[in-house]
Amino acid sequence: MPQPTIVFDFDGTLALGHGPVIAYAKHVGLAAQDPGLVDDARAALERLDAGDGRYRDGYDAVRRVALARGVPETALGPAYLASRQELGTQDAPVSAPVGLRDFLAALAQHALLVLATNAPEIGVDRVLDQAGVTHLLAERHFSIGKPDGLTAVVAQHVTHGPVLAVGDIWMNDLAPAAVLGADTALVGATARSTDADPTMRGSTLADLYGEITSWAATAVTGPTASTGAVHPHGKA
């Protein structure tokens, strides 16, 4: 019998809040000896939250601010890794979408749950453990190099049944999956402003609990994405 699979992004999807991004900005500012960088980064994040489409996500906003202030590109990687060491601590706090544990626990009865993220493994399991959801994710893939790296993850599962990709950046988290016939769920600030056409969209993952649960419960009742045909909840 076909097996539905749901592939989740991490930052901006399962882990919410600008805490880690502000930590990144602080480390960049320290490395560049530029205390004003953090204030500019906060302003950029406010624009992102308001729907400004110039930034892919918070990390991209900080990167653009830093480069505009003359910070060398070589300083950004070490600052990012330093901020990830703090992920899920008081120095880089995050929150899970409301009701995430119960949602994933119910969802796991109908679908295989997979994590696929560009982030390194550093700190991620700490956040997942805090949310009580680590054991519900059948696979966890780190530093996969989206968008190209997502193709391999989705291709592995789309031959076994319908796939739904969930994330906050269309080009990274969803577009490669859509090419392979997967359904897509776009969350976050760009869900309001994008010109893309995801299967479903919401301000946060919690807004889509009902739609995703319905998808998982009924996705295998029609032709699967691997046949190239349209199944009841989206486009092939």
Closest CA to 162 of 204, 99, 217, 200: 217
- For residues 140 and 76, membership in a common domain is answered with no
Centroid of chain to Cα 194: 16
Q: What is the pTM of this model?
A: 0.89
Q: pLDDT tens digits, the chain, 236 residues: what are they?
A: 788 999 999 999 999 999 999 999 999 999 999 999 999 999 999 998 887 778 888 999 999 999 999 999 999 999 999 999 999 999 999 999 999 999 999 999 999 999 999 999 999 999 999 999 999 999 999 999 999 999 999 999 999 999 999 999 999 999 999 999 999 999 998 887 788 999 999 999 999 999 999 999 998 874 433 333 333 333 33
Provide the number of structural domains found in the chain. 2
Last residue of a domain, one of 52, 85, 118: 85
* Domain shared by 41 and 148, yes or no: no
| Same-domain status, 106 and 177 | yes
Residues 126 and 153 in one domain: yes
- The parent domain of residue 70 ranges over 19-85
* In a domain? residue 28: yes
Q: Are residues 99 and 173 in the same domain?
A: yes
d(CA 199, CA 178): 9
Tell whether 232 is covered by a domain.
no
The answer to whether 233 and 183 are in contact (CB under 8 A) is yes
Residue 233 domain flag? no
Same domain for 78 and 180, yes or no, is no
